[in-house]
Structure 1
Amino acid sequence: MQILVIEDDQTTAAFVTKGLRQEGHGADHVANGREAFAQAMAKPYDLLIVDRMLPGLDGLSLVKALRAAGVATPAIFLTALGGTDDRIEGLNAGGDDYLVKPFSFGELSARIGAVGRRQATPQIDTILTAGDLKMDLIRRTVTRAGQTISLLGKEFALLEHLVRHKGRVQTRTMLLEEVWGLRFDPQTNVVETHVSRLRSKIDKPFADEIIKTVRGVGYVVEG
């Protein structure tokens, strides 16, 4: 994997980049949030490792800006801010995982592997459909009734999972595990928030709903 380490603490950055390279990854390092934004926009990385407290542009704002610009590169927050609210902010900002300092490199490596497995796209079913909705997984585009719909990275991943499993109810636990890679309940409304955002884009402007709520169970895509 090609990984961009975005960390202003030189000791931590050196430790992480050295470990990544020893495992066979390519690792670049940037210490400034604005420089990281420019580099992540210019070069196709497989993963971002992001500190939250950065000069120039903080980690949350950086990931939000990348998602708004259509960059869906997975991001793992690696930060000393470990409170529940901090984790919620990180996930809602578009982060794919959240690891609190101090940390072991072994755990970071395992989380990198998990994110990589979730992002791996099979060479089949690169076009997904549900009714008049179409997802092109190669071009990362979504259309409905011929109209282009712009989705952020996690919204795209959530919709992809629901459409891949259309006709089958997906519980909140399933979505947390498969879309966010969480094996525990973070006690947040991150799933509900993202489903609501998806509906505002792919259902509200149209006559028929694609995402259905199965009360007390979860969500299902029909079509």
Structure 2
Amino acid sequence: MNRILIVEDEPRISSFLSKGLKAAGFTPLAVATATEGREQAGTATFDLVILDLGLPDGDGYSVLSYIRSLGLDIPVIILTARNSIHDTVTGLQSGADDYMAKPFHFDELLARVQLRLRSEPQEAEVSILTHNGLQLDLLRRVATVNDVEVDLSAREFELAETFLRHPGQALSREQLLSRVWGYDYDPGSNVVDVYVRYLRNKLGTGRFETVRGVGYRLSTKV
């Protein structure tokens, strides 16, 4: 299981990243300062680093510079609010493997993480997800229930896809917000509950179970 170091001082973003990466099968560790980032990176026990640049005790570039000075070739993805071309070029020239600007979509970040950790040829990406009579064609963006096509909005489709990628697994509202709406969506919103209700109405009430105190899961019983 790949270990990922998150160097991010904003608690809300750090929490979204940690929960999302854990749900994707990684082992994340989050720290909030450049000093902690250098200390943890120096242990050489991580497979990838997600690095913010604006840290309370210094610039994130000091962490990147320290990692490279140790001769560590672990992938570093800069995730920052600095979004100019100059910043991007500077980040990549300084030794980062990738550069993403905030606000960001978690699924895009996850894809970049998976790409950087890919060490051998991978099988072709699955284009059709199926579970208990529910099928999603990811290329055609078509949903069917027992071979009957069901009309889903773009957001409904993304939410259904998230559930089908984790059948039987309890997903928190924060995880679903992060994956479908992005980390910067209002965490106090009830949008997840609303859209789960939409999916229940369209795909079957019993498919999506409420997990008290957590969120929802795709039922394995339907």
Secondary structure, counterpart of 2:46 in structure 1: coil
Task: Tell me if the contact between 2:44 and 2:72 (Cα under 8 Å) persists in the aligned partners.
Answer: no
Taking structure 1 as the reference length, what is the TM-score of the superposition? 0.52
Counterpart for residue 71 of structure 2: 70
Counterpart for residue 93 of structure 1: 94
Secondary structure, counterpart of 1:24 in structure 2: coil
Q: What does residue range 1-223 of structure 1 map to in structure 2 within 5 Å?
A: 1-117=2-118, 120=119
Amino acid at match of 2:94: A
CA spacing shift, 1:121–1:44, aligned 2, 3 Å:
farther
Q: CA deviation at 1:64?
A: 1.2
Task: Tell me if the contact between 2:8 and 2:31 (Cα under 8 Å) persists in the aligned partners.
Answer: yes
Could you list the runs of 4 or more consecutive aligned residues of structure 1 that deviate by over 6 angstroms after TM superposition? none
Give the number of aligned pairs: 120
What per-residue deviation string (whole Å, max 9, x for no partner) do you get for residues 90-145 of structure 1? Answer: 1011100001100010000000111112xx269xxxxxxxxxxxxxxxxxxxxxxx
Distance 1:90 1:15 in 2: 23
Distance 1:6 1:98 in 2: 14
What per-residue deviation string (whole Å, max 9, x for no partner) do you get for residues 75-99 of structure 1? Answer: 0000010100000111011100001
Give the unaligned 5+ runs of structure 1. Answer: 123-223
Q: CA deviation at 1:11?
A: 0.3
The percentage of counterpart residues that share the same residue type is 39
Structure exhibiting the larger radius of gyration computed from Cα positions: 2
Taking structure 2 as the reference length, what is the TM-score of the superposition? 0.52
Q: CA deviation at 1:57?
A: 3.0
Secondary structure, counterpart of 1:42 in structure 2: coil
Computed over aligned residues only, the root mean square deviation of the Cα atoms, in angstroms, reads 1.3
Give the unaligned 5+ runs of structure 2. Answer: 122-222
Secondary structure, counterpart of 1:115 in structure 2: helix
CA spacing shift, 1:71–1:57, aligned 2, 3 Å:
farther
